[in-house]
Structure 1
Amino acid sequence: MQAHQADELATAERLYREVLDLRVAQPDALHYLGVLCHQDGRSDEGVALIRTALRITPRHPDAHNNLGNIHKECGRLREAEACYRRALECDPRHHNALSNLAVVLEAQQRPLEAFAVFEKLLEAAPRFAQGYYLLGLFLRNNAQGVEHVEQSVGCFRQAYALEPRFVQALEALSVSLYTLDRQDEAAQVYRDWLEREPDNPVPRHMLAACGGAAAPVRADDDYVRDTFDSFAESFDEQLLKNLDYRAPEVLAAALAAVLPAPAASLDILDAGCGTGLCAPLLRPHARRLVGVDLSGGMVKKARLRGGYDALEVAELTAYLQQHRQAWDVVLSADTLVYFGELGPVAAAAHAALRPGGWLAFSLEAEEGDDDRATLSSSGRYCHTRRHALHALGQAGFGDIRIAGDSLRKECGQPVRSWVVMARREA
């Protein structure tokens, strides 16, 4: 277990199996080996091992909870819900099972049931900082009015008061304050945070995002890396289930309209691959599918999901510059929102495509007819249509297509977006 907690998976697996050689039905070894197998990309094997452990010790709430986690991370929400409920039959105050159950109920668009479970969670574990944080996100994601965002502020404040190292709660607090048009309070949260951690890139970037400092031309690499490493474990459930994230499907459909019928014949780069949500949509077209992301935590999750021929941890513009005329398609879902000025990355993408190749990406939309990129309170940049057109035209792209859409929600409201396609001419 010490090796497992230290992320030394090969050593931990060898030792768990030695235990099982000595005692074939040792339930803890079966349980934790099952967790390890899932972490190593062998989720079906992990499920089988934990189920075997539960046949031996059927009233083990941690094992039921971890089995639910595997189902949740594999997108099997009903199965996950059933596991969390069995954990709670064994221990009605099991706070991890309660918080996980609330999350999967929200993900299944059952908000009233989710809220009731959050209430039970905080009654059972009133000093559980993560519970207040998750409830704050729930209230903001499902806000029906300003009062729900106000309530999220209280939740995030309580989470941070209980756990002063819980910096995600600080970031969430500031976003809620800015949403409520309390910019000065939001900025002060980041200033106080920077006083304690002057080298932390997250409050530095977010202070600029809420107008407390000059905006950089693009998000700092350290900010992007730290932010997405910290969200890697919960990224899919927050984005897909709670924010109605649609960018992979919408971009894949836009590409399908211009590409030949799927024949596994193209070299495709998933630029900013995250946890790998685009892989199954791109795979039918791909002879070779490569994912690149700045966050090692995200790449680790993408590796577990599978579907790529290779995965790289690298900064996107530099990676494109190093692979000239290597790709038939470059797709970037919700990644260029961390670039203000699009010119350099557009030029790098043009050079990385072969003649006739397509670039497809999404942006958050800025109103207006001028050429402008604006850093928003979320920490992401919004771009006018003219800015995207100008950057792509200057890079040498032709057949530029920009369509308005909504690819996710924020504070319960659709976020206006651009779906952009551009072709490198022969």
Structure 2
Amino acid sequence: MTTADLITSLLQQAVGLQQQGHFGQAEDLYLKVLHAQPDNFDAMHLLGVIARQTGRPALALELVSRAIGINPLQANAHCNLGAALQDLDRPLDALACYDEAIRLQQGYAVALNNRGNTLRRLSRHEEALASYRQAIEARPSYAEAHNNLGAVLHTLRRHDEALLSYQRALQWNPAFADALNNLGITLHALHDFDSALASYDRVLQLQPGRADAWCNRGMALQKLRHFQHAVSSYDRALNIDARFAGAHLGRANSLRSLERNEEAVAGYLQAMECGADAEQVNYALAALGVVAAPAASPGAYVRELFDQYAGHFDSHLQQNLQYRTPALLMDLLRPHLPAAALDIVDLGCGTGLCGALLKAYAGRLDGVDISPAMLEQAKQKKCYDSLACVDIGEFLRRCECRYGLAVAADVFVYIGDLSDTFAAAGKVLKEGGLFAFSVEESEQEDIVLRASRRFAHSPAYLQKTAEAHGFVIDEMAREVIRQDNGADVHGCLVVMHRL
């Protein structure tokens, strides 16, 4: 056998072993080839691929770079170099490698898909979408690219489009567990919790050891109010990964809903020990009376809550919770409004339920909310002259406008101590300017953080806080403002003016 025949035979054996996952044996054969022929591109390149497959990205970078030095015109080597750079957290360098691979081989689907992954990591989402679509155009059956396209669409909250992408991925690969899991996540975001649950169950039939799917399943069960089953699902996740902070947190939330508060407290503490956000965990503990309540709800908690809720906010509030605050507040406010149009700011405007009622009285109407997803919904109502995505406290402190009316409907349930808010509101209102708002009513304590994680305030507290900051209460009404699990929630509606 000639040397050339021997090298060909060794390479064929090595490739077969590598494809079967026998990396050590394949590596030995590639090294034999390189001993006989040090400038063999295939052996050097595939040795680098093995290094990456076995978790050695720095060595992969060195070996694939040497292979490119032998033959710089091989697109697949540039693509694999990009993958190693991506593993080493060098996304811009990886991007340049993928671009070179695509230059050498037009329509190179794998490089286009990997390029999309890098762009997504850089939060260049529109460019990532374009790259994934090019990969799919080059290879319509590329299930991974369909799945990745769906992931970016989900990030952009284009959930209906994401759903179609995952479904296309599954048409080409019905056993694609990642796509099934992502499908469940998007169905969850669309509030189709039963279908999400079915999708997670399909994932777990294929890969029963996936802690993330068990955790996702628990979250769907929680939304369906099957709290005990949710706890069991979280337990399965924690049996696989005992330090899964999200599973500890979800389990604690379900235990709280079951009123198993001591167990819930232990769960929250475990979640924090495993890396869950300390501010949000302490907030949950405060709602259970374990630690002192903060001055306000954590901003990240409020933003995440309403970003998830935005697409179904109006229908859920009005149909499920019998939410009446905007209409009730307007009924209370209307007799106090002057004949002339006012400049109005809607603090915590959400999807614009109040804005639609305020527009008729506004010369200018500005909306402020911490949730970008809620503001997207508000924008569609076309009743605001401007919308600002910012915490209302920060907005009030920085605002240079002077308004005739400020409104805060169902906002102060996320703020305990109202002193700073009232003081800041006084600075943005004209003399005699009106401030209309709602609170959940506390019948005894000035401020109480309830188990619902919503603050309630007493009428006496509102009276003294208003007076301390230069306001006079014109009218206060006690009303049922919504329902919670079928029970009436009483609130106070207030109209006051600045001296």
Is TM (by shorter chain) over 0.5? yes
Structure 1 Cα separation of the partners of residues 160 and 449 of structure 2 = 38
Determine whether 1:348 maps to 2:424: yes
1:278 partnered with 2:375: yes
Match of 1:61 in 2: 143
Q: Could you tell me whether the CA contact under 8 Å between 1:269 and 1:329 is conserved in 2?
A: no
Any unmatched runs of 5+ in structure 1?
A: 294-315
CA distance in 2, matches of 1:9, 1:328: 50
Q: Secondary structure of 1:340's partner?
A: coil
Aligned mate of 1:374, from 448, 460, 474? 448
| Largest Rg, 1 or 2 | 2
Amino acid at match of 1:136: G
Q: Match for 2:397 among 299, 321, 332?
A: 321
Which stretch of the first structure deviates more once superposed, 380-389 or 183-192? 380-389
Q: Percent same amino acid among aligned pairs?
A: 24
* Separation (CA, whole Å) in 2 of partners of 1:422 and 1:39: 47
**1:204 and 2:303 matched:** no
- Could you say what the CA RMSD is over the residues aligned between the two structures, in angstroms? 4.5
Higher relative contact order (CA 8 A, sep 6+): 1
Looking at structure 2, the residues matched to 6 and 350 of structure 1 have their Cα atoms a distance apart, in angstroms, of: 53
Partners of 2:96 and 2:129 lie apart in 1 by 19
Q: Where is the helix percentage greater, Structure 1 or Structure 2? A: 2
Asked if the contact 1:102–1:114 (Cα under 8 Å) also holds between the matched residues in 2, the reply is yes
CA distance in 2, matches of 1:164, 1:331: 46
8 Å CA contact 1:358–1:421 kept in 2: the answer is no
Given that 2:351 and 2:375 are in contact with CA atoms closer than 8 Å, whether structure 1 keeps it comes out as: no
Query: Deviations 1:272-326 (Å, cap 9, x if unpaired)?
Result: x223422452584555533224xxxxxxxxxxxxxxxxxxxxxx53553243546
Residue in structure 1 matching 2:358, options 254, 258, 261: 258
Q: 1:416 to 1:110 in 2, by over 3 A?
A: same
Counterparts of 2:95 and 2:490 in 1: how far apart (Å)? 45
- In 2, Cα distance between equivalents of 1:156 and 1:120: 17
Cα pair 1:132 1:155 within 8 Å, conserved = yes
2:163 maps to which of 77, 81, 84: 81
CA deviations 1:76-128 (Å, max 9, x no partner) are 44433232122123333322211222233345554443332221111222222
**Gap change, CA 1:98 and 1:195, over 3 Å in 2:** closer
- Partner Cα distance (1:413, 1:178) in 2: 18
SS in 2 for 1:216: coil
Of the structure 1 ranges 333-342 and 52-61, higher mean CA displacement relative to structure 2 is found in: 333-342
Question: Is there any run of 5+ residues in structure 2 with no aligned partner, and where?
Answer: 1-81, 324-347
Question: Following superposition of structure 1 onto structure 2, how do residues 1-400 of structure 1 map, counting pairs within 5 Å?
Answer: 16-34=98-116, 36=119, 40=123, 43=126, 46-108=128-190, 110-143=192-225, 148-193=226-271, 200-219=278-297, 224-225=299-300, 227=301, 236-237=307-308, 240=311, 244=316, 252-260=352-360, 265-266=364-365, 268=366, 270-271=368-369, 273-279=370-376, 281-282=378-379, 284-293=382-391, 316-318=392-394, 320-325=396-401, 336-353=412-429, 365-366=440-441, 369-370=443-444, 372-383=446-457, 391=465, 395=469, 396=471
Deviation track 1:189-230 (CA, whole Å, cap 9, x = no partner) reads 2344566779933433322222223333434xxx544x579x
Aligned residues: 384
Distance, in Å, in 2 between the alignment partners of 1:42 and 1:182 is 43
